[in-house]
Amino acid sequence: MTLTTAPDAAPLVPGELPGPLRVLAAAAWPDRPDDRLPSIAGFVESSFSPLVAETAERCLRAHYGPPPAVAAPRTALLLVSPTGDTGTADALRHATAAGRRVPPLLFFQSNPNAVLGHLAARWQLDGPVVALGPGFDTEAELPDRARLLIEDGDAEQVLLITAVQGPPDHATAALLAP
């Protein structure tokens, strides 16, 4: 069982992973044909941050109920995206090519850790925050990267999120623990 960035793949389901981690909860976006991403104050013009946030929140709600996750042990956030935030990159490129002023919020949200900080604050998660872009070898290595965050002692569980801006946009999230 592995996380996947393929738009038509099923998310992980709670249970055992190959190796030392188990899946406490899992979610995907979209999971219904009529799914719509909610907007997030402070994040504009791109679907990337809402995609990451909504998928992560679905996973956390499945395990903890509504925020904050006060019972959560030290939870690391690990975001992996082979495409990165193409919506923000496109908005920046169009503004500069047209000689327009670039909206300041685009600079803030161009760092994928911004949406992870939003999630950490909303859910009171206090583990490390890591965002990986293009370049990871295989999706099969992602649970190992999550395991390393736990083994180094900084986290007791990891919220592993994959996100791809489409078309179509799609994401998965899994809450992993030993």
49: tokens are 């941050």
Domain membership of residue 16 (yes or no) is: no
Choice between 84 and 24, residue whose per-residue pLDDT is larger? 24
Tens digit of each residue's pLDDT (9 = 90 or more) over 53-94: 999 999 999 999 998 877 677 999 999 998 888 887 888 888
Tens digit of each residue's pLDDT (9 = 90 or more) over 120-142: 999 999 999 998 887 765 677 78
Distance between terminal CA atoms of the chain? 16
Indicate the number of domains in the chain. 1
Residue 88 sits in which domain range? 36-177
Of 162, 90, 166, nearest to 130 by C-alpha is 162
Domain membership of residue 121 (yes or no) is: yes
Domain membership of residue 66 (yes or no) is: yes
Please, are residues 140 and 58 in contact by the beta-carbon 8 Å criterion? no
Q: Give residue 22's pLDDT band: very low, low, confident or very high (50, 70, 90).
A: very high
Domain membership of residue 150 (yes or no) is: yes
Domain membership of residue 111 (yes or no) is: yes
Report the CATH number that the domain containing residue 87 is assigned in CATH.
Answer: 3.40.47.10
Which alpha helices (H) appear in 65-112, and where do they start and end? 86-97, 104-109
Tens digit of each residue's pLDDT (9 = 90 or more) over 25-41: 999 999 998 999 999 98
pLDDT confidence of residue 48: 92
Domain membership of residue 99 (yes or no) is: yes
Of 87, 39, 30, 72, nearest to 159 by C-alpha is 72
Tens digit of each residue's pLDDT (9 = 90 or more) over 110-121: 777 889 999 999
Domain membership of residue 23 (yes or no) is: no
Domain membership of residue 131 (yes or no) is: yes
